[in-house]
Structure formats: structure tokens, C-alpha cells
Chain A
């Protein structure tokens, strides 16, 4: 079973967490074009390999944090704060 290290609670099993998808997506200005707004809402890199994503310890402390994870091996490469830049 995949395990994630919650920065507050330590290593826990994956079912305790909820994945919030790709992290650090910047919202464009509200007067942006439909094209760019659509890109922001729906289009994703969906990489085969390292993916930076946000997770929430839903059945624990409830906190959000960021994870860099390999989408093929599911290996967690780093865990960093929700407001921190990717290491």
C-alpha cells in the first residue's frame, strides 16, 4: 500500500489521504481570454513520471501539503509545505 508522510502526523497509509490533483496552478487574471481560462480549469500536464500534487490528510489532521511523486512507481520523492516552492 502506498504511504505518505504527513508533515504533521508522520507516515500514514494512503487511504487516510485525499489527493487534490496538480499543485501550484496559478489562477489567471479574471479578464483573461476564454482560451486561457479553459487551460487553467481543465488542461493538465498529466505526466508519466514526476508529478507535483497536493494531498490532504483528510482522516487525520486535515492539513494540505505538497508531494512530488512518481506516477509510474508511486515513489514519493519529496513532501513540502502547501505554500512552499517545489524543492
Chain B
């Protein structure tokens, strides 16, 4: 308040920009949402505060600042449902927990059905969610119309809308606020957040890690957690192991801000449109993946074109909205579209990766379960099915069908 009433000149830093010490109990590589949440829960749930979060760029500048800010838990399989719903529940209390407004808006997430087969698939999907104790409501065409009047529900529509389903507890949260809220709370508990600190090598002895070499010098630690999303394979290579991960560019874009027109999140799997409106008024559009390996945070024009075309078929009135910005993040896609949270083949190194196109919604649970394994050496119950060894045993949790968007 004081900051706001004095021309924004009296703000004090929300968190401490630290210089690295020579040693820590635990080092977390990656200062995105997952890394910062991990540090916070290590301090809060496990009382471990001699921790550093090392970030190559600036905190929340990777995928945490590049997503479409949607939170939901509309997953198909029991293991994923438990995981993502725990995350959504943490989100529901997060503003209070962190004493930082993350602007959670549970405006509902509507998935559209464009054919009889879509309707049947959605009935199955919604029923699976209900069986897993997660809210889901099937919608008739009329109910969709009442919820989202801007949609083209005419019989001439290129993709006729026959109905859909909604998760009313889904919605959006302010992505930067999530990063900053966790950073502020972790910093207040004594965590060192070190920016512009790139891990260039791991230091090992007898098959165990004993520290990292960074551009700010060597830092000792016998427990290291990697939470680096699209760059997980790069760090794994430095540490001497491989991952079942492929990095792709996933784009998003926003229009110029306009008055309120859309108060839910809309997903149309058939057209690839993933649309919501930010509190600022921008129409936020999520696109599909560029389906070739990429570490370039750009995204190709043809994908953008397809996404816009699909969006305009659903919302003809958006055709005159100028796009303001377009960008891409590098996402870590795993064969079964499920995460990996646990130990690696290198002693002392743990990894939290594989969230692919859906990491933002999972930040709280990613941090919670990753902190648990880093602190105790044992997998958290929720994370037990999500281990690297599932790619040897074959016990995959194939959410590619259930997670809501093709990838």
C-alpha cells in the first residue's frame, strides 16, 4: 500500500538476491516455479534452510514466465489425478500460505466436444475424474452457450459445438506471482536465491556428487536437485546420465487488452485452441508443439497460424484483435506425458522433470514432492509411480490421452 501511494518509489525488494556461499546442505539447479517451490517446502516442511537455488538467468524467466497460466487437475489415471489435484488444492490456499497474492481465479475450464465421438470420450474422461474424486460436469450445447456466449454455436460453424465438460475448480493464476511468492517466502526462511549462476559441471567422487562448478565458482553440496524443464537433458549429460526426455518449443501468444469477453478457460482439443482472458484483458492463446527437437524459444510460424485459425473458428469476433506478443518455452516431453520426480543413476543427484507442456499447474506439488525426496531420501507417496525406472519396467502412466492437449 505504501508503495502504491507514493508513486511506486518506496518498494523494498521482495526477496534477497544472494551471492553463493562455498557449501550448502542442498543445491537446487533451476530457479523456476518448481525449483523455488522446492526450496520453500524444504525450508517450511523439513526445516532445511541451508539451501541455494541456482538460476542461470533470472528467476521465473523460463517456462514459469512463458505458460498460459492455467491450473487444472482434469487427468485420467488415478496416479496423475492424485498428483495434480494435490497441486490444485495447494494452489487454492497458496495466497494465504505465502502471504502473497497469486491471483488465483477459479473461473472454470471448459473442454469442447465437436462430434459424437468427442461427447463419448468426454463422458468417459469426466467420469474418470469423478471416480478419482475430482469435480467434473458434463455440459450440453445450451450450457456451453450460456457459459461462453462469444463462441460460434451456429449450425454453420466449421467445428460445430455439441457440448463439452467443465472442471469448475480449474482456472488461472498469475504466473510471475507464483514464482515471486515462493521466492519471497523461501528467501524469508533463509534460502539463498542466486541468479546469473550457471551450472557448468558436476563435481563427483566415488560415483556420488559432491558439488557443482558454476560461473560464480565451485559450490559444495552432497545433495543436488535438478529442476530445469527443457534443459534437463543438458544437465543430465553434464552429470553423466540420460533421460527419456525430448525438448520441444511450445508457443503462446496474447492479443492487445480488451474489455472482459471470456470468463472461463476454453480448450478445444480438435482445433488446438486453448484460450483464456487475462485479468489485464489480453486474450491468451496457447498453441501446440513444434514437433521437432528445439532449444530455440521462438516457435514456428505455421504452428501459430494453425492455432490462430482454430481459435478464430471458435471465436469469430476475435478476428480483429491484433496480437501483441508471441513467444515460446522449451518443454521437456516424456513418452507418457507424465513427470519424473526422484533419484537419478548418480548418487546424490535428484531430478524433477518431464512435466512437458503442463508444468505450471504442477508447481506446488512438484516442489512439495521434490522437497520430500531431497530431504528424506525417500520418494513421496504421490511421486512413487513417477520414477525413472518406469521406463525399464514398462509401467508407464500414459496421460497423452488424458492430459487435455495433444502432445
Contacts and interface: CB of A to CB of B under 8 A. Distances in A.
Interface of A: 1-2, 13-15, 18-19, 21, 34-35, 37-39, 41-48, 51, 53, 69, 71-74
Contact of B246 (A13, A15, A39, A44): A44
Nearest to A16: B302
B260 interface: no
B271 interface: no
A34 B302 contact: no
Contact of A1 (B237, B296, B302): B302
B240 to A, nearest CB: 13
Contacts of B233: 44-48
Nearest to A73: B296
Contact of B244 (A13, A21, A42): A42
13 contacts: A19-B292, A21-B246, A34-B393, A34-B394, A38-B394, A42-B244, A42-B391, A43-B243, A43-B391, A45-B242, A47-B233, A47-B293, A71-B293
Contacts of A44: 233, 242-246
B335 interface: yes
B377 to A, nearest CB: 23
Interface in B215-249: 231, 233-234, 237, 242-247
Contacts of A21: 246, 293
B295 interface: yes
- The secondary-structure label for the interface of chain B is mixed
B30 to A, nearest CB: 15
Contacts of A1: 300-302
Nearest to B297: A72
Given A1-B302, A71-B293, A72-B296, A46 B245 contact: yes
Interface residues of B, number: 24
B291 interface: yes
Nearest to B292: A19
Contacts of B246: 21, 44, 46
B392 interface: yes
B231 A48 contact: yes
A14 B303 CA distance: 11
B244 A43 contact: yes
Nearest to A13: B302
Given A34-B393, A35-B392, A46 B300 contact: no
Given A19-B292, A46-B246, A47-B233, 11 more contacts: A15-B302, A18-B291, A34-B392, A34-B394, A42-B335, A43-B243, A45-B242, A46-B293, A47-B293, A48-B233, A72-B295
Contacts of A43: 242-244, 391
B105 interface: no
A31 to B, nearest CB: 16
> Top 4 closest A-B pairs, CB basis?
A42-B244, A46-B233, A19-B292, A38-B392
B95 interface: no
A73 B162 CA distance: 43
Given A14-B302, A45-B233, A39 B296 contact: no
A74 B244 contact: no
A38 B244 CA distance: 9
Nearest to B298: A74
B292 A53 contact: yes
Contacts of B242: 39, 43-45
Contact of B391 (A19, A41, A51, A74): A41
B71 to A, nearest CB: 28
Interface centre among B234, B295, B393 (most CB of A within 10 A): B295
Contacts of B255: none
B22 to A, nearest CB: 29
B294 interface: yes
B89 to A, nearest CB: 31
B397 to A, nearest CB: 13
B398 to A, nearest CB: 12
Interface string B282-319: 00000000011111100011100000000000000000
Contacts of A13: 302
A13 B191 CA distance: 48
B335 A74 contact: no
Interface string B380-395: 0000000000011110
A2 B296 CA distance: 12
A53 B294 CA distance: 12
